[in-house]
Structure 1
Amino acid sequence: MTTPTRNRANRRTEILDAAASLFAARGFHGVSIEDIGAAVGVTGPALYRHFPSKEAILAETLLAISSHLRDTAAEVVTRGADPAATLEALLDLHVSFALDNPALITVHDRELGNVPEPQRRRIRRLQRLYVEEWVTVLAELAPRCPSARLRAATHAVFGLLNSTPHSGGELPPEAMRELLRSMARAALESVVNASSL
């Protein structure tokens, strides 16, 4: 038997997924609470049982994915004994995110400024921590490379991987996955190899 708590959690997830798709397609200001409610089969005001505002929905959408990426990356890095294998696992994590969530990437790029300031700071902090997980691993592979360079390289690779809202439908999913992985790997290897010269 499904509990009321589980139903509520499922409904919140359903609302967040629908809102992300709508925000990506129409922009934050082009979507009303009524639009989000209609997408999940309820009236707009019924959403207030789950979220206090449209801004809260946007904030929770971006906080949830930022938290998930950071927590999963931290687990990968903590478990990893070999830095090269750990980097491959981080690549797998981000490639899967980029292929599975192009709408979230679009929403983050366009709408972060509409998130209330306290939540925006939390999102930015989680994102910085996520980057530092990558920098930690890259520093093991390239100990002579300055952290600032490794951080810049990580951001550049994220830019490549997060191109899926524009390129994700051009190739079959597995071909796109391999293309993204190979390009990101090559970019990171160039930084690691340059630092060993």
Structure 2
Amino acid sequence: MAVEQQARGAANGTNGAGRRRSRRDEILEIAVGLFAARGYHGVSMDDIGAAAGVTGPALYHHFAGKEAMLAAALIPVSEGLLAGGRERAANHPNDPRGTLESLIDFHVDFALANPAVIALHLHELDRLPDEPRRRIRRLQRLYVEEWVTVLTALHPGLPDGEARVLAHAAFGLMNSTPFLGGEVDRRRRAELLRGATLAALLAPTDPA
């Protein structure tokens, strides 16, 4: 229930920087938390409206339905990851180690801030219609290629296919945040995830 409670508790009208969020953003955040906690089919529009404190007509003013909410939650995330990955790669020209460290910092920060979105992506992406699902998959592939580029630079001779294996393994590690308990504080969780991911990706890749 942690992700559901997190989403409900965050629906106070401001983001982390204190800027007022739109009502649409608040509703979407609550929907994401409910989907992540109960599953897409375990949540109705009435459930979302009740949790957000809005009536049916007001809810449909913002979103045509659950599929629209799911797309609105996942597409911007994929767009933001790609844009952020490209930005960090551009900030470290000719420095693959610096690029890798920056990419890891970026993704770990994202994963810790968005466990409900990660859970939603892992379990509910296939609920989307073909077009938005294909769009998300394409954005994801492009993001993976940012990691492939830096990994092949760090490990000369590493085939692209093997670099993709390493990249996806790293995502699995960093995207474990929906399953982490609260017994370790966020700062330490970030340190552990960064250190483990960096060590895994810097390990020798030569066949035994």
Give the TM-score taking structure 2 as reference length: 0.85
Q: Once superposed, which parts of structure 1, at least 4 consecutive aligned residues long, lie more than 6 Å away? A: none
Work out whether residues 144 and 195 of structure 1, in 8 Å CA contact, stay in contact via their aligned partners in 2. no
Instruction: State how far apart, in whole Å, the 1-side matches of 2:57 and 2:44 are.
Output: 11
Structure 1, residues 113-141: CA drift from partner, whole Å, max 9, x if none?
11111100011111111111111111221
Structure 1, residues 9-57: CA drift from partner, whole Å, max 9, x if none?
7122212211110001111111111221222221132122122111110
Q: Secondary structure at the match of 2:22?
A: helix
* Bigger share in helix: 1
Instruction: State how far apart, in whole Å, the 2-side matches of 1:22 and 1:160 are.
Output: 24
Q: What does 1:26-175 correspond to in 2, within 5 Å?
A: 26-81=38-93, 82-175=95-188
Q: Structure 1 vs Structure 2: percent identity of aligned residues?
A: 55
* More moved, 175-184 vs 165-174: 165-174
Instruction: State how far apart, in whole Å, the 2-side matches of 1:80 and 1:135 are.
Output: 15
1:176 alignment counterpart: 189
Work out whether residues 157 and 187 of structure 1, in 8 Å CA contact, stay in contact via their aligned partners in 2. yes
Task: State the superposition RMSD in angstroms.
Answer: 1.7
2:32 alignment counterpart: 20
2:9 alignment counterpart: none
Q: Secondary structure at the match of 1:179?
A: helix
Give the TM-score taking structure 1 as reference length: 0.89
Q: Secondary structure at the match of 2:205?
A: helix
Instruction: State how far apart, in whole Å, the 1-side matches of 2:134 and 2:77 are.
Output: 15
Instruction: State how far apart, in whole Å, the 2-side matches of 1:104 and 1:168 are.
Output: 17
Instruction: State how far apart, in whole Å, the 1-side matches of 2:134 and 2:166 are.
Output: 23
